[in-house]
Each structure stands twice: as structure tokens, then as C-alpha cells.
Amino acid sequence: MAGTSLTWLGHAAFRLDTPGGKRIYVDPWLGNPKCPESEQEPERIDLIALTHGHDDHVGETVDLAQRFACPVVALVELRGWLAGQGLPEDMSEAPNKGGTVEKAGVKITLTDANHSSSGFEDDTFVYLGEPAGLVIELEDGFKIYFAGDTNVFGDMQLISRIYEPDVAVLPIGGHFTMGPREAAAALELLGVTRCVASHYGTFPLLIGTPEQLRDLSPDVEVLAPEPGETISL
């Protein structure tokens, strides 16, 4: 099998290339201000996974899923709403927290997250279930925890104990999510030695930086690729 690579597409959007050759998009808002133009039109997608229903995470999911006829894994309320937007109804793609589904040869488990999840339809506010984190287990057993939008919470220790992630992708920008101080505490609870910074620098309000997190977590390798840059995990 080949290795695992992760490409930051700006904000909270990532492309994950698995050892088995699958291409997974997480929270694909490819219209975000930091996404390089060269990354805004994917050449293929095997799976999309969503953490919650805010526009800056759902992004272009409906259009992308229709174009590539790929599964979309999301919490049951959000997945049901997406079905109403044109995606096929498929309960096998709609778990709730604690549930695990296997698609495209990888396993995705939904975990807790502390945030909100909503959208608008015809100018009407729509509840889209609770936010979630994602533990993605690849074909070779390697596990990546995408925390999604969240603050730090004590049960991250349970995520560590139960799922034993190898890498954590954490928001660090602050204001809408945790900032570096809280992310440093999250790393202690998770017990990981590698972290990928996310959800920072997109807008002026998101002031947290990878450098601040490195100062607070000197024993953790904090990875901060440039938008469009691919790193090996």
C-alpha cells in the first residue's frame, strides 16, 4: 500500500489520500478565501465526510457528490437534509454519535463535539442536528481524528482511550472554536504526538496561530501546511 497524505484546502477543508488509493474530502468548502484556485475543481472524489451543517463546512458538498456519485457521511439529521437538497437517501451514510460506517474501504466514527449546527433554506433557519468529530480509520489501521468545530472538553480523553488516534486535526483560530490555549489542553487529553492545525487565518476574527500552539505544546509536532500543500502522515 502507498502512504497516507493530507492536503489542507484552507479553513477546515481537507483532502485525504489513503494507502488504498481512495480520495476523501472532509468539510469541502472549496470556495473559501484560502483555497487555491487549482484545488477548487477536484479531479475525483471517492468519499465526502462532514462534521456539521454550517455553510463553511458543508460547502459544495451537494454539487461535488452529484458530480462524482460518491457517498456522503454525515450525522443523521444533516444527512437527511442533504437528501432533501438532491442527494440520494441512504441511511447507511447517516450515523449518529458513537456510530461507525464503512465506505470506500475506510471506517468513519462520529464522536462528540461542542459547537452548533444549522443552516438556511429559503431564508428560513434550519436545525441540522448536533456537530460531530470524525475518527477516520484507513485501510492499514491508521487513524485520524478530525475534531471539527469545537471547544476543548474533558471527554476527549475518552476519544483517546477508545479510538487511539495517530494524528489529531484541531481548530485553533478561536472565536468560533477553541484557540491555541484550549487546543493545547485538547492535545494533553488526546495524548497524540502529532497535530494538524485547522480553522485559522481565514478571517480576521480567527487570530490563533500554529506558532502559539507550538509554544504551548512543545512535545507535540504541530503541522501547519500552506493551503494547497500536501503532507505525509
Instruction: Evaluate whether residue 231 is within a structural domain.
Output: no
In this prediction, residue 2 carries a pLDDT of 73
In this prediction, residue 119 carries a pLDDT of 87
pLDDT tens figures, 159-205? 999 999 999 999 999 999 999 999 999 999 999 999 999 999 999 99
Q: Is 21 helix (H, G, I), strand (E, B) or coil?
A: coil
* CA separation for the pair 39, 230 (Å, rounded): 12
* CA separation for the pair 7, 227 (Å, rounded): 8
Mean pLDDT of the chain: 97
Q: Residues with Cβ < 8 Å from 167, sequence gap 6 or more?
A: 143, 144, 145, 192, 194, 195, 196, 233
Q: Is 41 exposed, middle or buried (0-12, 13-18, 19+ CB in 10 A)?
A: exposed
3-state secondary structure 85-110: CCCCCCHHHCCCCCCEEEECCEEEEE
In this prediction, residue 58 carries a pLDDT of 98
Domain range enclosing 104: 5-225
Which residues of the chain form beta strands (DSSP E)?
5-8, 14-17, 23-26, 47-49, 72-73, 100-103, 106-111, 118-121, 124-127, 133-137, 143-146, 167-171, 194-198, 221-223, 230-232
In this prediction, residue 59 carries a pLDDT of 98
The residue type found at 176 is F
* CA separation for the pair 159, 90 (Å, rounded): 27
Give me the mean pLDDT over the 222-231 stretch: 98
* CA separation for the pair 210, 200 (Å, rounded): 9
Instruction: Evaluate whether residue 233 is within a structural domain.
Output: no
In this prediction, residue 125 carries a pLDDT of 87
Instruction: Evaluate whether residue 232 is within a structural domain.
Output: no
* CA separation for the pair 79, 53 (Å, rounded): 9
Instruction: Evaluate whether residue 172 is within a structural domain.
Output: yes
For residue 26, give the nearest of 38, 42, 1, 36 by alpha carbon: 42
CATH number at residue 212: 3.60.15.10
Copy the grid coordinates of residue 115: 459547537
pLDDT tens figures, 16-42? 999 999 999 999 999 999 999 999 999
Orientation angle between helical segments 61-68 and 76-84, nearest 10 degrees: 70
For residue 9, give the nearest of 59, 74, 53 by alpha carbon: 59
The pTM assigned to this predicted structure is 0.97
Instruction: Evaluate whether residue 209 is within a structural domain.
Output: yes
Number of compact structural domains in the chain: 1
Instruction: Evaluate whether residue 121 is within a structural domain.
Output: yes
Q: pLDDT band at residue 1, thresholds of 50, 70 and 90? A: low
In this prediction, residue 83 carries a pLDDT of 97
Instruction: Evaluate whether residue 19 is within a structural domain.
Output: yes
Instruction: Evaluate whether residue 110 is within a structural domain.
Output: yes
pLDDT tens figures, 103-151? 999 999 999 999 999 988 878 889 999 999 999 999 999 999 999 999 9
In this prediction, residue 123 carries a pLDDT of 82
Give me the mean pLDDT over the 75-79 stretch: 98
Do 183 and 153 form a contact (C-beta atoms < 8 A)? no
Indicate if the pLDDT at residue 52 is higher than 80.
yes
Indicate if the pLDDT at residue 13 is higher than 80.
yes
In this prediction, residue 16 carries a pLDDT of 98
